[in-house]
Chains A and B, each alone.
Chain A
Amino acid sequence: MKRYLLPLGLFLALASTLALGLKRVDPQALPSPLVGRPVPAFNLTQLDAPQTRITPAQFKGQVWVLNAWASWCVSCRKEHPVLLDLARKGVVPLVGFNYQDQREPGKQWLQKHGNPYQLTVFDEDGRVGMDLGIIGVPETFVIDKQGVIRHKHAGPVTAEWVQQTLLPLLKELQRG
Chain B
Amino acid sequence: MAELLRWARQGLTASLWVLAATCAHAQPVVSPQDSGNAALELRVNQLASELRCLVCQNQTIADSHAELAVQLKNEVRTQLAQGRSDDEVRDFMVARYGDFVLYRPPVTTATALLWAGPAVLLLIGLGLLVQHIRARQRLEATSTSTLDSVWPEEPTPKEQA
Contacts and interface: CB of A to CB of B under 8 A. Distances in A.
B124 to A, nearest CB: 12
Contacts of B72: 130
Interface SS, A side: loop
A9 interface: no
Contact of B54 (A31, A126, A135): A135
Report, as a range, how many residues of chain A touch the other chain: 10 to 19
Given A126-B71, A130-B71, A130-B75, A136 B96 contact: no
B97 interface: yes
A33 B68 contact: no
B13 interface: no
Contact of B100 (A30, A34, A130): A30
A151 B11 CA distance: 53
B71 A33 contact: no
Interface string B63-87: 0000110011001000000000000
B98 interface: yes
Contact of B68 (A28, A31, A34, A135): A135
B67 A34 contact: no
B97 A131 contact: no
A33 B55 contact: no
B94 interface: yes
B54 A33 contact: no
Which of B96, B99, B100 is the most central at the interface, judged by chain A CB atoms within 10 Å of its CB? B96
B57 interface: yes
A32 interface: yes
Interface string A29-71: 0111110000000000000000000000000000000000000
User: Across chains A and B, which 5 residue pairs bring their CB atoms closest together, nearest first?
Assistant: A133-B96, A135-B54, A33-B98, A133-B97, A30-B100
24 contacts: A28-B57, A30-B54, A30-B97, A30-B98, A30-B100, A31-B98, A32-B98, A33-B95, A33-B97, A33-B98, A34-B96, A100-B67, A126-B71, A130-B72, A130-B75, A130-B96, A131-B96, A133-B96, A133-B97, A133-B98, A135-B54, A135-B55, A135-B68, A136-B68
Interface of B: 54-55, 57, 67-68, 71-72, 75, 94-100
Interface of A: 28, 30-34, 100, 126, 130-133, 135-136
